[in-house]
Amino acid sequence: MLKIENLHAEIDGKEILKGLTLTVNAGEVHAIMGPNGAGKSTLGYVLGGRPGYEVTAGSVTFDGQDLLAIDAHERAAAGVFLGFQYPVEIPGVSNVQFLREALNAQRASRDEKPLSGGEFLKLARGQADLLGMDHDMLKRPVNVGFSGGEKKRNEMVQMGIVDPKFAILDETDSGLDIDALRIVGDGINRIMRKPDKAVLLITHYQRLLDYVAPDFVHVLEAGRITRTGGAELAHQLEREGYAAVNA
Protein backbone atom coordinates (compact mmCIF):
# COMPACT_ATOMS: atom_id res chain seq x y z
CA MET A 1 0.00 0.00 0.00
CA LEU A 2 2.71 2.48 1.02
CA LYS A 3 6.25 2.23 -0.23
CA ILE A 4 8.85 4.71 0.99
CA GLU A 5 12.28 4.41 -0.57
CA ASN A 6 15.45 6.24 0.46
CA LEU A 7 13.47 9.30 1.51
CA HIS A 8 15.47 12.44 2.21
CA ALA A 9 13.62 15.54 3.37
CA GLU A 10 14.64 18.88 4.78
CA ILE A 11 13.07 21.88 6.41
CA ASP A 12 14.63 25.35 6.29
CA GLY A 13 17.68 23.81 4.67
CA LYS A 14 18.19 21.30 7.49
CA GLU A 15 18.07 17.66 6.49
CA ILE A 16 15.81 15.70 8.87
CA LEU A 17 14.98 12.50 6.98
CA LYS A 18 18.18 10.87 5.78
CA GLY A 19 17.40 7.88 3.63
CA LEU A 20 14.28 6.37 5.16
CA THR A 21 12.94 3.16 3.65
CA LEU A 22 9.70 1.52 4.77
CA THR A 23 7.02 -0.64 3.18
CA VAL A 24 3.54 -0.94 4.66
CA ASN A 25 1.18 -3.53 3.24
CA ALA A 26 -2.60 -3.54 3.44
CA GLY A 27 -3.86 -5.08 6.67
CA GLU A 28 -0.76 -4.10 8.66
CA VAL A 29 -0.17 -1.86 11.67
CA HIS A 30 3.37 -0.50 11.96
CA ALA A 31 4.52 1.25 15.12
CA ILE A 32 7.29 3.81 14.91
CA MET A 33 9.24 4.62 18.04
CA GLY A 34 12.36 6.69 18.46
CA PRO A 35 14.06 9.46 20.41
CA ASN A 36 12.83 13.06 20.46
CA GLY A 37 13.85 14.96 17.37
CA ALA A 38 14.52 11.82 15.31
CA GLY A 39 12.14 12.87 12.53
CA LYS A 40 8.97 10.92 13.33
CA SER A 41 6.58 13.87 13.04
CA THR A 42 8.53 15.08 10.02
CA LEU A 43 7.80 11.75 8.34
CA GLY A 44 4.10 12.22 9.10
CA TYR A 45 4.12 15.76 7.72
CA VAL A 46 5.98 14.75 4.57
CA LEU A 47 3.47 11.95 3.95
CA GLY A 48 0.54 14.23 4.72
CA GLY A 49 1.86 16.95 2.41
CA ARG A 50 2.44 19.76 4.87
CA PRO A 51 4.02 22.78 3.14
CA GLY A 52 7.61 23.72 4.01
CA TYR A 53 9.09 20.24 3.81
CA GLU A 54 11.31 19.67 0.83
CA VAL A 55 11.92 16.16 -0.41
CA THR A 56 15.43 16.13 -1.84
CA ALA A 57 15.70 12.46 -2.76
CA GLY A 58 13.77 9.20 -2.71
CA SER A 59 10.19 8.26 -3.47
CA VAL A 60 6.85 7.49 -1.84
CA THR A 61 4.15 5.56 -3.62
CA PHE A 62 0.64 4.98 -2.28
CA ASP A 63 -1.30 2.26 -4.07
CA GLY A 64 1.21 2.60 -6.86
CA GLN A 65 0.64 6.34 -7.24
CA ASP A 66 3.39 8.91 -6.68
CA LEU A 67 2.20 10.39 -3.38
CA LEU A 68 4.69 13.25 -3.37
CA ALA A 69 3.38 14.52 -6.71
CA ILE A 70 -0.10 15.33 -5.38
CA ASP A 71 -1.36 18.05 -3.01
CA ALA A 72 -2.35 17.49 0.60
CA HIS A 73 -6.10 17.60 -0.17
CA GLU A 74 -5.64 15.09 -2.99
CA ARG A 75 -3.78 12.81 -0.58
CA ALA A 76 -6.68 13.07 1.84
CA ALA A 77 -9.09 12.26 -0.97
CA ALA A 78 -6.93 9.25 -1.86
CA GLY A 79 -7.52 8.00 1.70
CA VAL A 80 -4.51 9.29 3.66
CA PHE A 81 -5.26 10.63 7.14
CA LEU A 82 -2.77 12.39 9.41
CA GLY A 83 -3.52 12.61 13.12
CA PHE A 84 -1.39 15.42 14.54
CA GLN A 85 0.89 15.30 17.56
CA TYR A 86 -0.42 18.78 18.35
CA PRO A 87 -3.95 19.13 16.92
CA VAL A 88 -4.60 22.67 15.67
CA GLU A 89 -7.26 24.95 17.08
CA ILE A 90 -9.56 26.66 14.58
CA PRO A 91 -11.45 29.48 16.31
CA GLY A 92 -14.72 30.49 14.68
CA VAL A 93 -15.28 27.17 12.90
CA SER A 94 -17.43 24.62 14.68
CA ASN A 95 -16.30 21.05 14.88
CA VAL A 96 -19.34 19.83 12.90
CA GLN A 97 -18.85 22.43 10.18
CA PHE A 98 -15.21 21.49 9.85
CA LEU A 99 -15.81 17.74 9.86
CA ARG A 100 -18.67 17.96 7.39
CA GLU A 101 -16.63 20.13 5.00
CA ALA A 102 -13.73 17.70 5.23
CA LEU A 103 -15.92 14.68 4.56
CA ASN A 104 -17.94 16.26 1.77
CA ALA A 105 -14.81 17.54 0.00
CA GLN A 106 -13.50 13.99 0.01
CA ARG A 107 -16.83 12.58 -1.14
CA ALA A 108 -16.93 15.10 -4.00
CA SER A 109 -13.51 13.99 -5.19
CA ARG A 110 -14.86 10.42 -5.31
CA ASP A 111 -17.99 11.57 -7.20
CA GLU A 112 -20.19 10.79 -4.21
CA LYS A 113 -22.99 13.15 -3.25
CA PRO A 114 -22.52 15.33 -0.16
CA LEU A 115 -24.18 14.36 3.11
CA SER A 116 -26.96 16.68 4.26
CA GLY A 117 -26.69 18.41 7.63
CA GLY A 118 -29.01 15.85 9.20
CA GLU A 119 -27.26 12.83 7.72
CA PHE A 120 -23.90 14.18 8.77
CA LEU A 121 -24.98 14.95 12.33
CA LYS A 122 -26.20 11.39 12.75
CA LEU A 123 -22.86 10.04 11.55
CA ALA A 124 -20.87 12.46 13.73
CA ARG A 125 -22.92 11.70 16.84
CA GLY A 126 -22.51 7.99 16.29
CA GLN A 127 -18.73 8.35 16.06
CA ALA A 128 -18.64 10.66 19.09
CA ASP A 129 -20.60 8.05 21.08
CA LEU A 130 -18.17 5.32 20.11
CA LEU A 131 -15.28 7.42 21.41
CA GLY A 132 -17.05 8.63 24.52
CA MET A 133 -17.08 12.25 23.35
CA ASP A 134 -19.85 14.54 24.49
CA HIS A 135 -22.18 15.72 21.68
CA ASP A 136 -21.73 19.30 22.90
CA MET A 137 -18.12 19.15 21.78
CA LEU A 138 -19.26 18.75 18.18
CA LYS A 139 -20.75 22.25 18.34
CA ARG A 140 -17.70 23.93 19.84
CA PRO A 141 -15.00 25.61 17.72
CA VAL A 142 -12.46 23.01 16.53
CA ASN A 143 -10.19 22.07 19.43
CA VAL A 144 -10.49 25.51 21.05
CA GLY A 145 -10.20 25.05 24.78
CA PHE A 146 -10.27 21.27 24.41
CA SER A 147 -8.08 19.51 26.95
CA GLY A 148 -5.11 17.57 25.60
CA GLY A 149 -6.95 14.27 25.81
CA GLU A 150 -10.14 15.74 24.32
CA LYS A 151 -8.18 16.91 21.26
CA LYS A 152 -6.85 13.42 20.74
CA ARG A 153 -10.30 11.87 21.05
CA ASN A 154 -11.62 14.47 18.64
CA GLU A 155 -9.01 13.38 16.11
CA MET A 156 -10.27 9.82 16.41
CA VAL A 157 -13.85 11.01 15.88
CA GLN A 158 -12.62 12.77 12.76
CA MET A 159 -10.86 9.61 11.62
CA GLY A 160 -14.05 7.60 12.20
CA ILE A 161 -16.01 10.06 10.08
CA VAL A 162 -13.67 10.24 7.10
CA ASP A 163 -12.93 6.50 7.31
CA PRO A 164 -9.46 6.68 5.71
CA LYS A 165 -7.56 3.89 4.04
CA PHE A 166 -4.22 4.75 5.57
CA ALA A 167 -3.73 6.59 8.86
CA ILE A 168 -0.58 8.12 10.27
CA LEU A 169 -1.24 8.67 13.96
CA ASP A 170 1.36 10.88 15.64
CA GLU A 171 1.42 10.27 19.39
CA THR A 172 -2.33 9.81 19.53
CA ASP A 173 -1.79 8.25 22.95
CA SER A 174 -0.02 11.22 24.52
CA GLY A 175 -2.00 12.91 27.24
CA LEU A 176 -4.74 10.30 27.36
CA ASP A 177 -6.01 9.06 30.71
CA ILE A 178 -6.03 5.32 31.38
CA ASP A 179 -9.63 4.78 30.24
CA ALA A 180 -9.24 7.06 27.22
CA LEU A 181 -6.18 5.12 26.12
CA ARG A 182 -8.27 1.97 25.92
CA ILE A 183 -11.14 3.77 24.19
CA VAL A 184 -8.80 5.29 21.60
CA GLY A 185 -7.00 1.96 21.12
CA ASP A 186 -10.34 0.23 20.56
CA GLY A 187 -11.30 3.05 18.17
CA ILE A 188 -8.15 2.57 16.10
CA ASN A 189 -8.87 -1.16 15.88
CA ARG A 190 -12.52 -0.64 15.01
CA ILE A 191 -11.88 1.96 12.31
CA MET A 192 -8.59 0.80 10.85
CA ARG A 193 -8.05 -2.92 11.52
CA LYS A 194 -9.34 -4.06 8.14
CA PRO A 195 -7.69 -6.11 5.41
CA ASP A 196 -7.71 -3.17 2.98
CA LYS A 197 -6.37 -0.56 5.43
CA ALA A 198 -3.10 0.17 7.18
CA VAL A 199 -1.77 2.29 10.05
CA LEU A 200 1.50 3.98 10.95
CA LEU A 201 1.42 4.48 14.69
CA ILE A 202 4.00 6.90 16.08
CA THR A 203 4.36 6.46 19.82
CA HIS A 204 6.82 6.79 22.69
CA TYR A 205 5.20 4.20 24.89
CA GLN A 206 4.50 0.54 24.71
CA ARG A 207 1.10 0.90 26.46
CA LEU A 208 -0.93 1.75 23.36
CA LEU A 209 0.55 -1.29 21.65
CA ASP A 210 -1.16 -3.50 24.24
CA TYR A 211 -4.45 -2.40 22.67
CA VAL A 212 -3.39 -1.97 19.06
CA ALA A 213 -1.11 -4.93 18.50
CA PRO A 214 1.46 -3.90 15.89
CA ASP A 215 2.65 -6.27 13.17
CA PHE A 216 5.99 -4.46 13.12
CA VAL A 217 7.82 -2.07 15.42
CA HIS A 218 10.45 0.21 13.89
CA VAL A 219 12.99 2.45 15.54
CA LEU A 220 13.48 5.77 13.77
CA GLU A 221 16.71 7.47 14.75
CA ALA A 222 18.46 10.43 13.15
CA GLY A 223 16.22 10.35 10.10
CA ARG A 224 16.21 6.69 9.20
CA ILE A 225 14.87 3.35 10.36
CA THR A 226 17.63 1.69 12.35
CA ARG A 227 15.82 -1.39 13.65
CA THR A 228 12.70 -3.39 12.93
CA GLY A 229 11.11 -6.08 15.05
CA GLY A 230 7.80 -7.31 16.37
CA ALA A 231 5.83 -6.23 19.44
CA GLU A 232 8.63 -7.57 21.66
CA LEU A 233 10.96 -4.82 20.42
CA ALA A 234 8.71 -2.20 22.02
CA HIS A 235 8.94 -4.05 25.34
CA GLN A 236 12.70 -4.30 25.03
CA LEU A 237 13.03 -0.59 24.25
CA GLU A 238 10.87 0.33 27.23
CA ARG A 239 13.04 -1.79 29.51
CA GLU A 240 16.43 -0.90 28.15
CA GLY A 241 16.22 2.38 26.21
CA TYR A 242 17.43 3.19 22.71
CA ALA A 243 21.15 3.31 23.43
CA ALA A 244 21.25 -0.15 25.01
CA VAL A 245 19.14 -1.76 22.30
CA ASN A 246 21.50 -0.51 19.60
CA ALA A 247 24.66 -1.48 21.41
Ligand X SMILES: Nc1ncnc2c1ncn2[C@@H]1O[C@H](COP(=O)(O)OP(=O)(O)OP(=O)(O)O)[C@@H](O)[C@H]1O
* Pick 84 or 120: Cβ nearer ligand X: 84
Residue 206 makes contact with Mg ion by CB under 5 A: no
Element containing residue 168 per DSSP (H, E): strand 166-170
Number of chain positions touching Mg ion (CB under 5 A): 3
Residue 148 makes contact with ligand X by CB under 6 A: no
The whole-angstrom separation of Cα 171 and Cα 125 is 25
Cβ 204 to Mg ion shortest distance, Å: 9
* Pick 106 or 172: Cβ nearer Mg ion: 172
Nearest CA to 121 out of 139, 133, 102 is that of 139
* Pick 24 or 202: Cβ nearer ligand X: 202
Cβ 207 to Mg ion shortest distance, Å: 17
Q: By CB under 5 A, name the one of 41, 127, 143, 206 that touches Mg ion.
A: 41
Cβ atoms 160, 131 nearer than 8 A? yes
Give the CA distances from residue 2 to residues 26, 109, 149, in Å, rounded to whole numbers and listed in that order: 8, 21, 29
Cβ atoms 19, 223 nearer than 8 A? yes
**42: partner contacted, choices Mg ion, ligand X, none (Cβ within 5-8 A by kind):** ligand X
Q: By CB under 6 A, name the one of 14, 51, 136, 243 that touches ligand X.
A: 14
CA of residue 123 relative to chain centroid, distance: 21
Residue 203 makes contact with Mg ion by CB under 5 A: no
- Treating both helix axes as pointing N-terminal to C-terminal, what angle do 178-192 and 148-162 enclose, rounded to 10 degrees? 10
- SS3 category, 132: coil
Task: Report the site for ligand X in 20-79 (rule: CB under 6 A).
Answer: 34, 36-42
Element containing residue 66 per DSSP (H, E): strand 65-66
Cβ 37 to ligand X shortest distance, Å: 4
- SS3 category, 204: coil
Cβ 189 to Mg ion shortest distance, Å: 23
The whole-angstrom separation of Cα 177 and Cα 126 is 22
Residue 95 makes contact with ligand X by CB under 6 A: no
Nearest CA to 213 out of 201, 221, 225 is that of 201
Cβ 10 to ligand X shortest distance, Å: 9
Residue 236 makes contact with ligand X by CB under 6 A: no
Considering only the stretches 8-16, 39-47, 58-66, 106-114, report the one whose residues sit in contact with Mg ion under the rule CB under 5 A: 39-47
Cβ neighbours of 110 (radius 10 Å): 9
The contact set with Mg ion (CB under 5 A) reads 40-41, 85
The contact set with ligand X (CB under 6 A) reads 11-12, 14, 16, 34, 36-42, 85
